[in-house]
Amino acid sequence: MARKIIIDTDPGQDDAVAILLALASPEIEVLGITAVAGNVPLPLTAKNARIVCELAGRIDVPIFAGCDAPMTRPLVTAEHVHGKTGLDGIELPDPDMPLQDSHAVDFIVETLRHEPSGSVTLCPIGPLTNIAAAFQRAPDVVERVEEIVLMGGAYFEVGNITPAAEFNIYVDPEAAEIVFKSGAALTVKPLDVTHKALTTRPRVEAFRALGTPVGHAVAAWTDFFERFDMEKYGSPGAPLHDPTVIAYLLIPDLFSGRHINVEIETGSDLTRGMTVADWWRVTDRAPNATFMGDIDADGFFALLTERLARL
């Protein structure tokens, strides 16, 4: 029985690779893709999600537009990393497949209510606005979530958009607070893990060597978006953040971490969006998240390349 998931996303080149990995994996059934404002504004993330599904030949996957701004703050985007379109690096045709009429938040709520309780995993790989809005509008659905597996936050890596905060959490810290306090089973892929999953040249060339439109697109996207991180960190590649969420569903043993307390800073302007992870258990705050600290990067890229070859 395939694992049912909803991918909530702000494509973004790394989001695109995560979506492709999910669509290439028979162990996973993507019930729908919900777009949220983040890397680029909502019209673009909703368009990009469709571009990626068409690239994978999967126009059967329903795609929904969600929230176009954080719950209480103005939107912060990341064109400096992802380019103006959010999928810079390769020219792909505008999508033909339509968006679904329903709002993403309604789709999340209705899916959780109609699918058997505990059978749907939420995979947010952008700001948490849609997820938090669903939990606020329909608190009854929280206990019906099998697991939330998200990309966001950081402890040892601290921050990437500010000195203290990772982008997905920083954009909507109030939403993140709702999700982290919801009581739902939560597994977090922070920068601590994704910064160890770098798109080195051999790994990018392995994508290109697939010789397929998907392999070509993924290599081109990576060539584009890695320039920012390589300049900033002087690293031999960029962190391929979002596919780590899907890889965890496929081979959890690629990762190791701890079940700890993680809370979100929402008050301070200086550190807003920080995930205050009690990695050393120095407080008596109750554990609420499995927070990953390490990844088998070679295993991750081997899985990713093998699966992309199937598209």
Which residues are identified as catalytic?
241
Rounded distance between C-alpha atoms, residue 71 and residue 86, angstroms? 22
Residue 167 site contact among Ca ion, ligand RIB, none (CB < 5 to 8 Å, cut-off depends on kind): ligand RIB
Any contact of residue 12 with ligand RIB (CB under 6 A)? yes
Instruction: Read off the tokens for 113.
Output: 């209510």
Any contact of residue 146 with Ca ion (CB under 5 A)? no
Decide: 295 and 254 in contact? Cβ < 8 Å. Answer: yes
Min dist. Cβ of residue 90 to Ca ion (A): 18
Distance of CA 217 to the CA centre of its chain: 19
Any contact of residue 15 with Ca ion (CB under 5 A)? yes
Instruction: State the binding string over 91-130 for ligand RIB (x if CB under 6 A, else -).
Output: ----------------------------------xx----
Q: Which stretch binds ligand RIB (CB under 6 A): 165-173, 229-237, 260-268, 269-277?
A: 165-173
Decide: 67 and 42 in contact? Cβ < 8 Å. Answer: yes
Min dist. Cβ of residue 242 to ligand RIB (A): 5
Q: Which of 8, 14, 172, 229 binds ligand RIB (CB under 6 A)?
A: 14
β-bridge partners, 239: 198
Any contact of residue 237 with ligand RIB (CB under 6 A)? no
Any contact of residue 83 with ligand RIB (CB under 6 A)? no
Rounded distance between C-alpha atoms, residue 191 and residue 155, angstroms? 8
Looking up tokens 């973004």, which residue turns up?
12
- The CA-to-CA distance between both ends of the chain, in Å, stands at 21
Min dist. Cβ of residue 47 to ligand RIB (A): 16
Instruction: Look at residues 291, 294, 273 and name the one whose alpha carbon lies nearest to residue 188.
Output: 291
Instruction: State the binding string over 91-130 for Ca ion (x if CB under 5 A, else -).
Output: ----------------------------------xx----
Instruction: Read off the tokens for 172.
Output: 């909507």
Q: In what order do the strands lie in the sheet with 186-189?
A: 63-65, 28-35, 3-9, 120-124, 145-151, 186-189, 289-295, 255-260
Min dist. Cβ of residue 15 to Ca ion (A): 4
Residues that bind ligand RIB (CB under 6 A): 10, 12, 14-15, 38-39, 125-126, 151, 160, 166-168, 241-242
